[in-house]
Each structure stands twice: as structure tokens, then as C-alpha cells.
Amino acid sequence: MSNTIGNNLLHQSLLSSNVLEQHQCRINSSTYIGGNTFFHPQANSLIHKSPISTEFRGNRLTMQKNRLHMGKHHSVSKSPQAVLAANTSSMMTEKFKMYGNLELQVDVGPSTSSSSLVVNFTVTNGRESLLLHWGAIKSRKEKWILPHCRPVGTMVYKNKALRSPFVRSGSNAVLKLEIDDPAIQALEFLIFDEAQNKWYKYNGGNFYVKLPTRESKSANVSVPEDLVQVQAYLRWERKGKQVYTPEQEKEEYEGARMELLEEIARGTSIQDLRTKITSKNKVNESKEQLVSETKSNIPDDLVQIQAFIRWEKAGKPKYSPEQQLKEFEEARKELQVELEKGSSLDEIRKKISKGDIQTNVSKQEVAKKSNFSTERIQRKKRDVMSLLSKVASVSIEEKISSEPQVLSAIQQFARAKEDNVDGPILNKKIYKLGDKELLVLVTKPSGKTKVDLATDLPEPVVLHWGLSKRLGEWAAPPSTMLPPDSVSLDKAAETRFTTISFDNQPYKVLSLEISVEDDNFVGMPFVLLSRGNWVKNGRADFYVEFNSGSKEVQKKDAGDGRGTSKPLLDKIAELESEAQKSFMHRFNIAADLMEQATNAGELGLAAILVWMRFMATRQLIWNKNYNVKPREISKAQDRLTDLLQNVYRNCPQYREFLRMIMSTVGRGGEGDVGQRIRDEILVIQRNNECKGAMMEEWHQKLHNNTSPDDVVICQALIDYIKSDFDISVYWKTLNDNGITKERLLSYDRAIHSEPNFRRDQKDGLLRDLGNYLRTLKAVHSGADLESAITNCMGYRAEGQGFMVGVQINPVSGLPSGFPELLQFVLGHIEDKNVEALLEGLVEAREELRPLLSQPNDRLKDLLFLDIALDSAVRTAVERGYEELSNASPEKIMYFISLVVENVALSVNDNEDLIYCLKGWNSALSMLNNRDDNWALFAKAVLDRTRLALTSKAESYHQLLQPSAEYLGARLGVDQWAVNIFTEEIIRAGSAASLSSLLNRLDPILRKTANLGSWQVISPVESVGYVVVVDELLSVQNKSYSKPTILVAKCVKGEEEIPDGAVAVLTPDMPDVLSHVSVRARNSKVCFATCFDSNILTDIQSKEGKLLRLKPTSADVVYSEVKEDELASSSNSNEFSSSSSLTLVKKQFAGKYAISSEEFTSEMVGAKSRNIANLKGKVPSWVNIPTSVALPFGVFETVLSDNLNQVVAKKLQVLKRKLDEGNISALGEIRNMVLELSAPPVLVKELKEKMQSSGMPWPGDEGVQRWEQAWTAIKKVWASKWNERAYFSTRKVKLDHDYLCMAVLVQEIINADYAFVIHTTNPSSGDSSEIYAEVVKGLGETLVGAYPGRALSFICKKNYLNSPQVLGYPSKPIGLFIRRSIIFRSDSNGEDLEGYAGAGLYDSVPMDEEEKVVVDYSSDPLIVDGNFRSSILTSIARAGNAIEELYGSAQDIEGVVKDGKIYVVQTRPQM
């Protein structure tokens, strides 16, 4: 309902004196279900005996967030008070001596701005932690009342007192109260120091300050009560329809009276006042008339219950205020019928509880509830780029000390014991005892349990211990198990530690060994006695578990911690035994570590996230022998989340990980909310008569230590009751959420029993457990949507009973219409058809987004709301899969666009995702405009979105997995949980839902665009044994002994194909013209991308079997074959041997630099010669860049120069090392080449050649620029020894020493686009058509290891003006560079026929390229058809002209700048 029936009754009480009389003796209470409320007789503590009823019932109680934590309340008795003199004409001051140098001064005087009194409190030398615990008194015989006018930060304490914080002013603590109610005669108070948990009283009782008497304006003038009622209602509406306590209702009523008296004092007549007020509230007149007609003898509490039953049976619809009132009267009529039949009120009450009252609920209303609402929000139009966040996190790599860790005496003892263990380690803990330590090691050698204890406490130390057959029990050990010299006591034993010395060490360790031969014992409680002092585990006894069900601690190496914040992880591991005591301990420890974590950057926060995630997934112990109050847990959570909020505010680069940490921690909250967990279970037990069995066990567990498990237990109870008490449903809910029977039994206060309720308890339990679930979620659930919304909007719709005393105000500064948007979300949160809900969720996050980067003292509440909305998107998408089963491509793409937008709102560096979102919007536009290429374009956007998700997953894995593995090893976490840590993090986010949506759309797009399931890059028929690998890179240097079909999950584009591989199949998307693709075709290896995961899975399942692959230009047919078919296969002979190629070593020709006119086969390679040959022979519109070269032999000559003698000698040593098979020498050789110095003659000749050719000389811009150029030249030479090239030459038996490297020098064209052309289609072998690929920026993204596909097209040579696009680009990165020089490798190995040497060596620009995330939605090559046709036609024509020039198929590279074509190299197509 939009408003409650309580509101309507309020209208009645304010407007009708008849109704007023009826309400004088009513019990005022209400029960709230969801957003709808009917009165129900429950909260009897709220009985109101005022002579005038002012029932203020509205939406959720809205109060301010408690900033202070509650201290322990001590009862106080009244004793003599200090009374201020009642002098109304002057300022009054009174001083009180409190304690030591603390003095209290109270000043009372009139307000300068109103008729109120101002009371100023000053405590000299007072702390900030002081609170005024106070109330007001109207009569000495009455209880304290709680004035509505309160200082900022005031809390309501148990609905009995107010607590207002003093603020610091110099050396004093001050507080100002304003008293606006003239009926208040005095203030009564105590002062509480929260930090010291200390009360300050006056002579053992309360301080008492009598206030000056003020004349009431109503002394000589009276206001009609009906006008006061109307004014009180208007005030209630004006203040947001809050729920008031009876005392507040009185205050509001008197406040309304005072407002009217002030109007009269200004000369307004009673009649004018009546006209003015009632005109504001015409709606109430009709309600008054309706109510006055329905008087009966039915008590309102019964009418309220019957109205609630009607509302439930109607499907809990959303009623308007008028409909609510009508429903209330219909309920009254139904009961009146029963009364007229002769039933007594008691009989009617019993019939209601059994549901026997005839209820006529409109079936139409029920139908409305069950139908899907087509209501949708209107999304605001936004510039997608406004979502852009380019804040990239920076990891601070912590240095790992190479020095061995210095172990303490106890750690040395532990290591020695572990090394000699013959059996599993069941438990191991090292407790910190100040600057001392205690080791407890539980092992099981030879089938019996052994407990080793060791400590460095001062002698003598005695172990006071017992054994337990169930957790927490103390029992005396059997005499047969006592070590020598032990003393047996009543329920324990005492054994003295003995001293052990270390060889050559000053350390002494006290140790003790206990053997437990009875497997019925599950643990050992103990304390220590050291020099007469008891040593405990904090406030609790020590307890060590060793039963057979305990998780074995694996003796695994934690590694060196590289890639982690190792010091922080080590600290966490040391403190874990303390953290296991309770959530309070864990959260407080995490809060203490936050500064260190933040200083360590991303790696530090990753450490906290891993730790909290292990906790959340129950890999760590939640509570161990420690009783803690829920409010203490809540307070610790609040402290931690406040710190996380501050880091979020101050360090935007870490926001993505801070969100993840917060979602694992939960919100926490002020003490009252946490304490409600403890208090409300008692309310449930009392209200529903269920104080024994399972409910009592749960109650004890909640009192001992509440945890997120309680949310699941509560939900399981609700599901069990709703299923008509089917106990299997209870267990299903528990098990689905990771809670087993064993886990229930493992709690310190175990839950042994199953629930067993009576049927007559059903309604009450569902009501109360539903409310209790909200309380639990308010503390424990960071991603619970309802509690997150409630915390931001304030408690306006909770009513009396549960949560009524908790004060949380709405967050200030929320956007206009935001509350209504959240109500829409809640109203549709369970819709089966989720499209409208997804729109609402994403729109809410968009509205919330600006607030998350603005100052707000409630930022964490906004963050938890955003996290909850994000989580709800994932849940909604998963629920919506059925809706998408037969959905159109348009609908699936729209879903995807919403989820991409949602993911972009959750991550830091989201530029790639933003451009994906723009791509999806463009694809939808193309589809709606019936563009023939929409599916082809959408497929490219889909591929790019997948790459974005893969990149994000890889970044998570790189950042989180090392920390998970290191900390997991230190804490003994299950290995399976460590292995899947990052995977589970990803699955928990909405990115996983996005991936599922992409998988649904992919086959639809491929079918629509006629793409098939394969892209064949190298169509070679092959027979081989299937081998599955993760990365082609990981096996590129391997040599397979039999023909092998590699199924590689990852192929980047620059790898070598290993010896023995006859085929490479991959789901990855290397470009058709990438290096690995060219080498596959040259080596006659089948190479294909498979888009269908089912086909690929089927091939992977045949690992080890012999398959035949028969590729066509667009498909691959595969089948199993027998061993005898291998010999006759087409590639068997090719496999058996690799032909040997011969290199001719080139000599230095006496020139360090030559111009293009001097390029010959003795001086330079084919790359340089071919580009020089094009000059003047191609059409004038094909531009050829100017070139010079450092010819063959220059490197060897520079190395032999006297300048480089030291380098030459070191290189000789490294080459011998390489010849001996030490591959690590390759990297050392490359680094050594970079140490070369340039002979002056080389610098002189190169400068002359470049300047005479019209090229800029780098040295003209300064010495540093020449050094950059020289370093680039050396990098080209050094690439002779890169791993890929070295293994490639060795594979074909080339003499690596004979490989010579010339360097082609060209000016870089700052390209708009780069292209590669094969003048014969490489996939089909069709020589009548040209195949080309185009990328934005420089061509390295096309030929190198850059993910994604280029734009690809074909063009018939006899129809060059009609290029046909085969695929749109999906590469997320483009490379761009300033005007510069590039130094290209040009080896003699690239000239060999039958050897794909091109691309093995490096081309190095003098300046570093800039990586730019590419936006294709504004790229004219994509969006402008005429421009695209013009550019692609020009590329095809250039390729055709060059092929005609050479008379053979060509492999051509070039760029486009301002629409002009530049060709930078050409070679024969392999």
C-alpha cells in the first residue's frame, strides 16, 4: 500500500469528535508486512492513555543514524537535587563538582530567535566521549518524556532516555539543548563517559534542573480541539508521516496547539483559522463522513486482524488510501455479520485465529496480483561517455627479502616437530601471549592423537587441562593418559612443562607432550599457570580440536609470496588464531590492518579481500569458545566499514576492490541494530509460545555469537513453515546455502534439533520471522537489497514491534524521484519477466553513481545500496533465462546492453566496456534500421565484450590468486577452495551473467550472418593425435614424437607452431594474417578457430585419440580413424622429417649506412630490396616511404670495435652457455647487446645518409634523441636471440651463427589505419580475389599478439570497386605514435623459400607507441558506408597493382593517412 490504514484512522481521529471518544481506550498497535500495513494487537507496551488520541501511524520510522556506541547502563536512584533559582528575568547559572578537575556548569536563558529556552552545558576539561543521558519532566510524578527537539547526534536509549554527545570546545566539552515545549518543568540527567564506561551522578542520583516558568499562550485563549487535531495531522504530513511513540504524539499534539495559538496571537480569528486549515485538507472531510457512518460494537483490534486477513487473501495488493479505508470497513461488516448471528466477541476472536470468518475478497484483485505488470520506468537519456572511469589501480610490488626469515624459538621447535611427524597434522596454532608465544600442534602418528605444547613463558609453567567428548566440555582425563608427575583434579588435570635447550642457542623452550588414545575425545580445553598467574586465550579458555572430523592441516609450502603483500599476509596469518574467537575480533583486527593495507596499494587490499572472502566462504573458523554480544559484532563491523568508506572516498583507484571487500563484510550498524538480534528472538519465542527445542538452541547460538549463517537459518524456517511444515524444505534451504547438519552441530552453542511447530503458530511465526529476517540482513548482508534500501531511505514502513527503536534517517541529497524508483524496484523484484526490473535496477545505479564520488557522511550506506542493486541485476538475469529461451535477437541484445552498463558501473577502468556498450547500442540501431550487416557487426561487438570480460578475469587472477595461494597455505585452507578462488570471485559478479547472455546470442548471430561454427585460417587436411593445452605459447618449443592435433585454449598470434603439430584448433581469434597464421599456412599445418563450444568440447573429449580433419573454407569435418590409416595420411611424410635449409653468411661491405639506391642482396634482405623496387613503378597515388639501411655485417663490425671489447668477450661466454643448452642465456645475450657503444663513424655515415635522403636526423633534437635511436637499432640486432626466432631456426636446422641482420630505417607515418593484404585469398586459395585486414592505428596490433579481430574484407580482382566486408573489428586497442623513425629487422633468413622467417624478429620504433582504447561507434570506417567503400577499394587496388608488378601473389603491409595509401613493405605471399 502507498499508505497504511493506520494513516486513515489517524485522519478519522483528527476530524471526528465521535471517533475521538471511541479511541480513548483503544490499544494502539500495528503489524507491518512488506509495504502494506494493517493493525494487529501486539505491541502492548505502546498503550496510550492520553485523554486525546493522536495516533500517528505512517511509513517506516525515520530517525537519525546513531553515531555513538552504547555503554552499559546502570540503574540510578533519585536523591537530593541541585535546583537552579527560578528567576525568569535574568540568565541563570549553576555549577556542580563532578570528579577530580571536572566541573559542570549549566546556563539557562531565552532563545534569541523563538520563544524556546536554551540550556547550555559545559564540562571543564571534559572528554569528547561524554554523553548527556537525559529526559524532560512535566510533572515530578511522571516518567521522563523525550522532547522532539534534540541536538544533532542524539540517540534514543531503549525508548526511555535520550543520549546527546558533547562536542569539544578548547579544553572543555559543551552541549546545547533547546526546549520549545512550555509544559516542560525541568530536565533530569546523568553524564556518561563512553570511553571509560563511567557514570557521573549528583550525590548518587540524577542531576535535576528546574526550568523557569513560562506563560502559556493558551491561558486566556482556547483553540477548538478539532482544529488542533487537523493541525497535528498537517504537521505529521509535513514531517514525512513518521511513526511516533506515544510521548512524541503528545509533543506533536501540543506543538500543533502552540502553532495555532501563535496564529491567534497575530490576530487571526478562530473562523479564519478553521477556513485556512480545512482548505488544506479537503480529502479528510469525505473520510470523516465515511468513518462516522460505520460505528459498531466490534473492537478495532479484531477489525484490524480481519482487514489484514482480507489483504493477505487478496494477494497483498497495493491499495490507495481510499481503498485501505474501504477494506477496513468491509472487514468490520464481516465481523458485524458474525455478531448479528449471535457469536460473542470471544468466539469471533477464536474464529479469526482459525480463519473461519467468511471473507469475500474480489477474485479480480487476486488476478491482478498474479499477472505480470507491464509498468515500466522511463529511463533518462544520458551520454554513455558520462560513465567513463579511467582511474587505473596501481599495484605496489612489495620487495621480498632474500634474507632467510629469523625464526623464534617456538617457531624453530614447531618446524623441528613437523619435520619428524609420521602422520597427518590435524591442527596447528601459535598463540601470541604478549611478547611470548604458545604452540599447540596436534598430530596423529600410528593412529593415536598426540598433542605437543611449547611456550617461552617464564618458568614454572603448569598446564591446567581437560578433555571433551563434545565441543566446549571440561572433563577429567583418564589416569592412563596423564603424563608423568601429573596431578588429577575433579574435572581437570595439571601437568608441569619441562625445559628444552637448543644447540648453540640461548633459547629455552618449555614443552609438554600428551597422548590421547581414545578417539571419542574431540578436543582439549586448557589454561596455563605461569609464576602464579593464569594465562588464558583473551577472556576465554584455550581449546584445541583433534577429533577425526577435523580438517587436516596440509604441510604445504606457502612459497615466497611474490606478487603479494607478503608482510601483511604474514601479519594476518599470525593474528588468525585471535581472529577465530569471534566476528568482533576478526573485524577489529581487519580495521587495525586497514592503514597498512591501504599503504600497500592494490596488493594490500587484495590481502584483506582474500582473508575476508575465506571467512565469508566458511574456510575460516567464525567463533571459537568466545561469547560476544551481537551489538559488539555490529559495532566492529561498523568500525571496519567506516574505514573502508574513508579509503573509498580518498583513494578512487581502489574503489573496485573496496566494493568487493564491503560485500563480504556486511553492513554492521549502530549498537541498537546489532542488539536487536539478541532481543527479538526472545520476542518471537514469547509471542509464538516456542521457547524450547530448536528455537531455544538457536536462541542460545544467537546470544553467544550471531553470524551470517543466521540469515540462512531464518530463511530456512520461513520456507519450512510456508511449505506446510515440510522438514525436507528446511534442510534444502540450509544445504543449498552451505549449512549442513555437521555445521549446525559445530557451533559453540550447537543446534541439535529440527524445528517442530504447531499449525496455529503459522501466521504469527511467518510474520515475526519475516521481520526478524530483515533485522538479521540489516547487520549481516552487505548485498541484501531490502535492508540496503531501508538503510538509505530510513525506517519508514516498519511499524511497531521490530526495529521500532532504531533510529536511521534517510540519506540526504538523494536525487528527485529516487525513492519512487527504489519502490518500483522492490515492487518488481520477484517478477518472472525481468526486463522492466533490469531497467529499474540499472537506472537506480545510474542515479546513485554521482553520489558515490561526492562527500557524504552516509557514503557507506549508499555503497551498500549500490552493491545490493548490482547483486540484484545478476539474480534477475539468472531468473530471466527462461524469458530469453525463445526471445528475439533484439531482446537478447537489449538485455546484454543493460548488463554491460551494469558491469561498467562496477569497475574502475571501464573505457573498453563503455565502447562495448556503445557498440551494442549501434548494433540495436542497425537491426531496427534493417541494416543487412547488423548481425556481422553485433558478432564483432560480442567478441570484443568477451575479450573485455577475459581481460578483467585475467587481471583479477593476476592480482588475487597469488595472495589466495600464499594465505591459503599459511592458514591451511582447503586446496580446492584456493584453486578456484578467483574463479568464484568472478562467478559471484554480474560479469558471469553477462558471459552467459553472450553465449546465448553467439549462435544466433553466427547463423544470421552465415558465419558457421568455424573460421578456417589454414585449410590443410590432417591426421593426428589430439592433445589439449591451455596456451600454444607454453608448447611452442616442444617437439612431438607423433603427429599431433593441438587444441589450444589461448593463441595470441605471435607463437611458433611446435614440431610434430599437424593442426592447431582454438576458440581464440587470431587474425588470419597474424604471424602464427602465416607460419601455419607456410608449414602446411591446419589452423582454425572454432566458435561453437559444444564442438570444441567434443574434440577435447577425444584427447589421446587419432582424428582426421577435413577443412573447407568455412568448416572443419572431423572423424576418428584407425592407427593403420595414419601411414597413408596426406601429412604423414611431411611430419617425419623437416627439410634442412642453408644460410649464406653475409660479410661487411665497408659501409655503415646505405641509401635505397644501394640496396642489393649482398647488403640487405628482401624486405629492404622489395620496398626500394616499388619506387617509381607503382601508381602515383600509392606512396612509398623513404628508406635507408644499416647493411649486413654492421652489427659484427660494431661488436669487434675496440669500444666494445668487454661486451664481445662476455657475449662469447654467453654463446657457449647457449650452445650447451642453457636457454636462459638468450635473455642475457639480448641484454648484453644493449651494452654496445656506437662507433663515431657509424653515427657520421648514418646521419649523412638520412639527411641526404630527406629524412630527419634524430640527433638534431638533442643527444637524448640519438640515444633513443641507437637503443632501437640495438634492440633490432638483439632480437636475433629472441626465443621464438631461436627455436624456429633450430627447428629447420638453420645455422644460427650464419643469420645476419640488416636494419631498414624508415620514417613512421602516424597512421589512421594500417592494413595487410594477401593478393590470393589465404583461406580458400582463390587467386581471383584479394583478402585484406585493417586496424586502427599502427599495424603491430594486426601482426602482433594483440587480442581481437581486425576488419576483414575480400575483393574480386575484376571488380575492385565492390569490396565485401567479412567481419567487423573487435580489437580493443589501437597503437598511435608521434612523428618518429622506425628501425625494421631485415635478416637473410627472411629470403629463404619454404621458411616463414618474416615476423620472427623485431621492428622497433624510436618512440614508444601509445595504446588507445578504440571507439568504433564514431569511426567513419565503420559508420560511414561511402568512406569505408572508398578506403577498402583503394587498399584492394594498391594490392592488385603490386601483384601485377611482381607477377606473383604478394604479402603487403601499409597504412592509410588522411585517405592516402602508403605501402611500407611487400614480400612474396607464403
Q: How far is residue 402's CA from residue 1433's CA, in Å, rounded to a whole number?
A: 61
What are the cell numbers at 763?
A: 501466521
Q: How far is residue 189's CA from residue 218's CA, in Å, rounded to a whole number?
A: 29
Beta bridge partners of 1089: 1015, 1066
* Residues in CB range of 103: below 8 A, 6 or more apart: 95, 96, 97, 123, 124, 125
Q: How far is residue 1186's CA from residue 1255's CA, in Å, rounded to a whole number?
A: 7
Q: How far is residue 360's CA from residue 337's CA, in Å, rounded to a whole number?
A: 12
What are the cell numbers at 806?
A: 532504531
Give the three-state DSSP class for 375: coil
C-beta of residue 107 within 8 angstroms of C-beta of residue 152: no
Helix (H), strand (E) at residue 1227? helix 1225-1233
C-beta of residue 320 within 8 angstroms of C-beta of residue 375: no
* Residues in CB range of 840: below 8 A, 6 or more apart: 377, 821, 824, 825, 828
Q: How far is residue 1104's CA from residue 1100's CA, in Å, rounded to a whole number?
A: 9
Q: How far is residue 188's CA from residue 147's CA, in Å, rounded to a whole number?
A: 12
**DSSP 8-state class, residue 481:** G
What are the cell numbers at 254?
A: 501540543
The Cα diameter of the chain in Å comes to: 126
C-beta of residue 1060 within 8 angstroms of C-beta of residue 1135: yes
DSSP 533-579: EEE-BTTB-EEEE-STTSPPB--------TTS-HHHHHHHHHHHHHH
Catalytic amino acids? 1075
Q: How far is residue 169's CA from residue 174's CA, in Å, rounded to a whole number?
A: 7
Amino acid at 686: R
Q: E strands within 100-206?
A: 102-110, 117-124, 130-137, 155-157, 161-165, 167-169, 172-179, 186-193, 198-200
Burial tier of 9 (Cβ tally within 10 Å: 0-12, 13-18, 19+): buried
Cβ atoms within 10 A of the Cβ of 1453, count? 21
* Nearest to 881, CA basis, from 840, 944, 838, 941: 838
Distance of CA 98 to the CA centre of its chain: 50
Q: How far is residue 131's CA from residue 68's CA, in Å, rounded to a whole number?
A: 9
Give the three-state DSSP class for 123: strand
Helix (H), strand (E) at residue 969? helix 934-971
In three-state form (DSSP H/G/I as H, E/B as E, the rest C), the secondary structure along 845-900 is HHHHHHHHHCCCCCHHHHHHHHHHHHHHHHHHHHHCCHHHCCCCHHHHHHHHHHHH
Q: How far is residue 1269's CA from residue 1303's CA, in Å, rounded to a whole number?
A: 12
Encode 1075-1090: b = buried (16+ Cβ within 10 Å), e = exposed.
bbbbbbbbbbbbbbbb
C-beta of residue 149 within 8 angstroms of C-beta of residue 124: no
Cα three-residue angle 1194-1195-1199, rounded to 5 degrees: 115
Helix (H), strand (E) at residue 1351? strand 1351-1356
C-beta of residue 778 within 8 angstroms of C-beta of residue 637: no
